[in-house]
Amino acid sequence: MDGYTKSDKNEIFLTYQIQVKDARGILLQPASNDKIEATLAPEDKDWRPKLRDTIVIPPLADSGEYQVTVSVRDERSRTDVEAHATFQVHGREVAPSDTLVVRDFRFTRSEDDTKPLQVAAYRPGDSLWARFIMTGYKLGDGNQFDIEYGLSVLSADGTVAYTEPHAAAQKDQPFYPQRYQPGVLNLNFPKDQKLGQYTIVLTVRDNLGGQSFETRQRFSVE
């Protein structure tokens, strides 16, 4: 910073705020507020105060152009100035929804596999992994969310081969609103698993919004 006013005793008094907002104008983190008070010595005539801050990008932040705004007030001259800078964030593209929905359901071969299977087929003794995105749930006060999901596995004749009504729950109250959540499923087949077609019935529940969503996904054991 430069151009500030000094008192008769070479004192400076500056206050500042640093804000970071996403492409929708939502704060990423609480605004950083601080002040700089100093008495400059004669040898400090070329000294200029510098502002530093750390910006943490939320893991589920949306894509877009983000803006940093620095507001500085010279408390002695009662003058204000702002500076702006932008940067790009490339997050996951998840289409918004007004109601609870599951998107991008995909079967994978292993826990760390990022490529979905072209054909959802497994062998007895294999491990089935599936990933999906949940969005459209309601946010409560302070960006609180509370969702959970369970599953059943149906055999080809419709009988229930396996069920877990409460497979996982995700509940949090982050500063930055998280408009979607990733989910994961894992099934371990015994070596004597019966061959045939199966259907996963995934049920997601939004406990704050009082809504639920069901999706059915087929796979085979060959």
Cα(91)–Cα(21) distance, integer angstroms: 15
Angle at 65 between CA 63 and CA 70, to 5 degrees: 130
Cα(37)–Cα(49) distance, integer angstroms: 10
User: How high is the pLDDT of residue 45?
Assistant: 80
User: How high is the pLDDT of residue 42?
Assistant: 84
For residues 12-41, give the mean pLDDT. 94
Residue 151 and residue 167 in contact, taking contact as beta carbons nearer than 8 Å: yes
**Model confidence pLDDT, tens digit, residues 87-146:** 999 999 999 999 999 999 999 999 888 899 999 999 999 999 999 999 999 999 999 999
User: How high is the pLDDT of residue 47?
Assistant: 85
**What mean pLDDT value characterizes the chain?**
95
Q: Identify the CA nearest to 98 among candidates 127, 63, 69, 138.
A: 138
**Model confidence pLDDT, tens digit, residues 151-167:** 999 999 999 999 999 99
Strands 180-188 and 64-74: unpaired
**Model confidence pLDDT, tens digit, residues 45-62:** 888 888 889 999 999 999
Phi then psi dihedrals of residue 143, to 5 deg = 65, 25
User: How high is the pLDDT of residue 219?
Assistant: 97
- pLDDT interval class at 8 (50, 70, 90): confident
Residue 19, judged by CB atoms within 10 A of its CB (0-12, 13-18, 19+), counts as middle
Set out the domains of the chain in order of their start, with CATH numbers: 11-89 (2.60.40.3880), 101-221 (2.60.40.3880)
The predicted model scores a pTM of: 0.86
